Structures are given as structure tokens and as C-alpha cells.
A and B are shown apart, each in its own frame.
Chain A
């Protein structure tokens, strides 16, 4: 019933000079996300975006709900600039809304219309009260608001405001490299980075044959689930060859440090790859204190291998909050599939929760750091993962 969607973006309007760039990027992202679904033109006017539907507004809204930068969407009814037609439209919108109290809010950018805004609100309020006996007016705290805008193109009416993701348009910030395991946390970290406009690329550490082919497929699947949120609807996924490092670590004479050492290797490889690929930050799923490698001491020692910025969007979230987000994003079901990744196959019985840097350096003195990192990078493969649908 709604021929039009009104798309609102908030924060962008604050961005001064860059505003046009941001708006254009948002438009591009919207158009890209809508590919494959029938729709009309997407146009930008006065800080809002309008999308013409093809009778499938719900399907279009579902797509828009995965586009960062959109604050909310309203399905809009359009009527001729004629009071009777507007009243008829108002009835339809009210019928499609829920609540027992209402008010009418009118804006009249088109001053050619003979009635003033308060007069229109009044006329429509009367009309609604007459036709919907269960409704009463409440101007302070109404259950529903009928919005009416009188523009050159006609009268726009809507009541629904469907919240969307907010954030900044995908790709508006720069490139970041997400350390993507098969777990619950790292996809959520990637999601939050994308929310702030980061174009992410994934990096997975693959330890076959210590882990199975299925564990890699699972990571590819997670990447595909993140892809719709990412710039261009796809995600580059680097699969780093981690087997030799795992073997070397198992031989270490400091078994309780193996997780710390493993994480340091991961960051070394990630930092080198980020420099090569010109990514501006590493992104990890660390949440403070969740496991041995995420204590402040561990993070301190692990972080010491690189000066690249590391974003940890989950640092302050509880596990349940992360799980809730993973469910909302749609990665949870895949994350809990029980294929071992290297973090679960190699967990020592008593990992150190307070590793000391001197110890760690002593343990690493046994290893051919340079050679192992070099080999891992050389044998890294790149997959282009596209969103599904």
C-alpha cells in the first residue's frame, strides 16, 4: 500500500564538508543492497532519501535494515494536494497503525497549499475522531503520530518509524583487518567495526590438519553472513597458513604460554598483512577478562608485538550481550557449529592468565619467529566472499 519509503540518516548531517561524500556513499550502498529486489528510483532531497517501492515495501525495508548509516525508515502514502484525498489517505494510515491515542503533525514546505499546518492537523484530527471511535487525541504522549507533509509533489502521510542500524555508511572510514575465528565474538567485532564505516577484510588462521576442512567452511560462511553489511556487499577473506606455527608452539618448553605465543604470532602476521594491504587497523573480538588470553596482562603482552592500532569493539561487553548481538546479526547459529578451530584444539590445560613479557621473550627466543611468520604469509590464500542473496 505504500508507494514510497522515507529513509532517514542522522549523524551524517553533522559531517560538514564531507557531507556530500557520505551521502553519495550511502546512496551507492543502498542501491547495491537493493540489487535483485524490484524497486524504483532512489533520490536524495533535503537531508532525506526517498525510495519508490514496487508494492514490496516490507521486502525493501528488510534490505535497508542491513545498511549502515540509515537511522530509520518510514513507509509513506502519497495523495494529491486535496484535503479530501488527504483525509482518505489518513484513514488508511491510521488503519495500518496500532494504539489508542494519537496526534497529527503537519509540515507544509509547500506554502501554496491554502490551509496552514495547524488547520490541516485540525481537519485531519476531526476526520480521524469521527471515523475511529476507539481513538482519542493525546498531544503530549500519543501512541501513534500521523505525520503529514505537504510538498510540491503531493501530500506524504506516514505513522510507522522503523528503526534501522544507524552508524556510518560502509566503507566511509577506511580499511580494517578483522581477525576472524570460527567463534561467536569475532564476527560481532567485525559488525561493530563496519557500523563505524570500516571496510573490513577477514583474516583466519588455518591449522589444517589439526583442524578440519569444515572449520574453514564455517569461517567462509561467517564471512558471507557479514558481507551484506560490508562495503560492496562482499568481504575479502585471507586464510593464513598457521600449521607450522602450531607445530612449533607445541614443542615449546613453555606450554602454559602457548596461547600467548599463538596470539602474538597472529598479531605479527596480521600486522604485516595490514601494512602490505594498507589496512589502517586490526580488529579483534577480545572482551576483557573473558578467557586467559583476554586478561589485561595478556592483552598487554600480546599487544606488544605491534604498533598497529588494534580495535577491540567488544572490550566492554558481557558474553551474553555479545551473544545477543550475534543472534541479531545472524552469525550465532553458524558460530556455535561444533567444528574445532585452532583455539580449541590447542588449549593447554593451564594457560597462563598473567604472562610476563620476559618469559614470553625467552620462549620466543627458541623459535624462528621471522621464518615462521614469513612462511605463514607466503602460504596465505585470498578468498572473495560475496553475500548470499
Chain B
């Protein structure tokens, strides 16, 4: 085992041995391009098709409607911009409903669409980032075309009620000629919470490889028949012309293996993650003034907590000296000055935001490791607080 405790699994995960093994032959032995007419190409195409149908059966959706992309961010872009690029919508931009706590790869695409004439409504979130599904019904307008909510929030672990929202949209769609498209960003959900997109209520769903012990540089977009997309990149005819570019076969194989393992082991992993999370919560509660920002019923791998009196960034660096890696706010926004938009949206006080730390767990961690983390955390928080009198 590595001489470190990595609690930043929502930023990225190490590729698992199974994933590495599965990918290994596709770098230099079965290296073909699926578009090539010769045997080397045909072999690559077969591999890709096998991956796609395997993913179809794992996710219980039509494999022909699964599209490989270069990242989760790209899949979110393709989902939203792919709808907006439909010629009719280019002429008649519509209305979007989303939440203020989406990932930047959704929020910033929507900001871009606003520049193109789309209007946006944001669902209200409570102090834990939870939305009220009924509010979707209230915000619906005649020209609402897209609803986008993430299933698991990447900073808090809050789970969105996608089945209820899906039902509301389904009901509204019954009376509409132009159907509302429901997009769910499931990047943080995969492998952590049960997910069923087979019922047709979710029209677009985004996944990423490297958050579930798969390789970096691969994302996946499921698009229901009803969600007709236009490409946002132009080039060859790969992925039905929707996502040109030579297919990344090793990464596709790795992604497939990673998703297979995540879904197969979901129950066992969740049990372990809940136990770890419980241990962590219990430990943090013994630290004076510490506050848990994540909801009690959130995803099992994520825990956001604040330690007033110190700065999250400083805590990150003190813990890294003990080979414990945690995140401040969300990994994606840590490089920017300014505070997390998520923590701000849920109305957290400035002190709580600046002292917030995100722990994201992996099933391979042990209770003993979490106990060691709690011990070190306690010691470190006290040490830093003693410095900042």
C-alpha cells in the first residue's frame, strides 16, 4: 500500500489494477484505428463495439446512444451545447432550468448559452444544497427546453431528487410538442449512489472515467432517442459524427472496465464508504467548533466540513506533510481566488467557507486509516489554531 492517505477521490482517482490490465494490450499491441479498413482497424472497431454494448447492458440503455468524449467536461458541453446547436434552437433560444451548485462545466456552458439568447432560472437550494422538485414545475415556461441538475454535488455530496424531477418533466412533456430535455451530470454519482436511467425520464447523462478508478481523458454521454444532438466539434464521422476524432481505444476499454466494477461492486462499496464516512463524521464532531456542511443523507464518499479559525488552504498543506491529501472547497475551483460558488449558494458564512475542507473517500480505505486521519486532523487543527491566536 502507498505510504499516503488519499482523501481527494472526487478530484481524481488512481486507475485500478484491473483497469490498467484491461487497457494494457491496447497501447502497442492492438493499437488500430477503428476507421481503418484493414484487419488491425477491424479489431479495434470490434473492441470498441464490445465496450459500447457492454456499457449499454451495464447502464441498461441502448448502446447506440452512448457517445465517448474526451472528458466529463466535454460530455457536459456536448449535452447542453449539442441541444442548443440544433438549427431551430439557434434561431429560437429557449429557457433552461438548473441549480446554482452545478459543476462549472455546466454553469459556464449555460452562461455561454445566455449570451446566445437563452434565459435561465435557478432552482433554490437549502443550507445543504437540496432542491425542492416541485419548484421545477413552478419554473417551467412554455419555452423551457432543458433542465440540468447534477445527481451528486461534487463539493457537498448532496443527492438531487432526479426521479421526482424526471416525473415532473415527463408529465409536462405529455402536453408538449417540443419536449423538454432532462440532463443529469452523474460524474460524482457513478459508483456511489444507485442510478437508473433506463426509464426514459433522463434524456442526457454524463459520466467520467477518472473519478471511478478509470483513466483520465475519457468521458461518456448517454443521449436518449428523444435528445437529438448536433456536434460541437467538427471533423471525421466518428461517434456517428457527433464527436469526431480518432477513438481513444485504451481509454474506452479502461472506462468500460471501471464502470463495470463501479456498478458491480456498488452495494459492497457503499457499505464500506458509509462506515468510513460515519467514522470520519464521529471524529470531526469531537473537534471543537467543527461543522459538517454535507447533508446527512448525502453520497457516501463525500464529506465537507469547516474548522473555523483557520484557512482551508493552510489545513491542506499541514495535512499533506503527514501524507494526508484532502481538498479545499472543490478541486476545480481551488486554483482560483475567491470562494466556492457552491458553499456560497447554500448560505454558509464566510468563516465557514474559508475554513472548509472536502474529504472524498475510496472503498479501499480502512477504518484504521480514517482513525489516523481523525487523530491527525485534531492535532493539526489545534496546532494551527494555536498559531493563529
Q: Could you tell me which A residues sit within 8 Å of B by CB distance?
A: 208-213, 246-247, 250-251, 338, 340, 345
Count the A-B residue pairs with Cβ separation under 8 angstroms: how many? 27
Query: Which chain B residue has the least Cβ–Cβ distance from A250?
Result: B387
Selected from B320, B335, B336, B388, the residue in CB contact (under 8 A) with A209 is: B320
A345 near B314 (CB under 8 angstroms)?
Answer: yes
Could you tell me if A250 and B313 are in contact, using CB atoms closer than 8 angstroms? no
Closest residue on chain A to residue B335 by CB atoms: A338
Per-residue CB contact flags for chain B residues 105-125 toward chain A (1 = under 8 Å, else 0) read 000000000000000000000
Chain B interface (Cβ < 8 Å from any Cβ of A): 311, 313-314, 316-318, 320-321, 335-337, 387-389
Residue on A with the closest CB to B319? A209
Q: Dominant SS at the B interface?
A: helix
A35, chain B: closest CB distance, angstroms: 35
Chain A nearest Cβ from B181, distance in angstroms:
36
Query: Across the two chains, which residue of chain B brings its CB closest to A214?
Result: B335
Are A210's CB and B336's CB within 8 A?
no
Q: What are 18 contact pairs spanning A and B, CB under 8 A?
A: A208-B317, A209-B314, A209-B317, A209-B318, A209-B320, A209-B321, A210-B314, A210-B317, A211-B317, A212-B316, A212-B317, A213-B317, A250-B389, A251-B387, A251-B389, A338-B337, A340-B313, A345-B311
How many angstroms between the C-alpha atoms of A174 and B4 in the bound complex?
A: 47
Alpha-carbon gap, A264 to B356, bound state (A): 33
Tell me the interface secondary structure of chain A in the complex: loop
Q: Which residues of A contact B317 (CB under 8 A)?
A: 208-213
Question: Please, how many angstroms separate the alpha-carbon atoms of A231 and B316 in the complex?
Answer: 39
- Bound CA span A56–B311, Å: 53
Question: Closest chain A residue to B386 by CB distance?
Answer: A251
B337: which A residues are within 8 A, CB to CB?
338
Task: Indicate if the CB atoms of B388 and A250 lie closer than 8 Å.
Answer: yes
CB-based nearest B residue for A248: B387
B155 CB to nearest A CB, Å? 19
Cα A211 to Cα B318 in complex, Å, equals 10
Q: Which residue of B lies closest to A253 (CB)?
A: B389
The distance in angstroms between the C-alpha atoms of A250 and B389, with both chains bound, is: 7
Minimum CB distance partner of A208 in chain B = B317
Complex Cα spacing A251 to B311, Å: 16
With both chains docked as a complex, state the minimum distance between the C-beta of B89 and any C-beta of chain A, in angstroms.
37
Q: Which of A208, A211, A338 contacts B336 (CB 8 A)?
A: A338
Q: Which residues of A contact B314 (CB under 8 A)?
A: 209-210, 345
Taking CB atoms, residues of chain B closer than 8 Å to A211 are 317
Assembled-state Cα–Cα distance A250/B387 (Å) = 6
Distance A211 CA – B388 CA, assembled complex (angstroms): 15
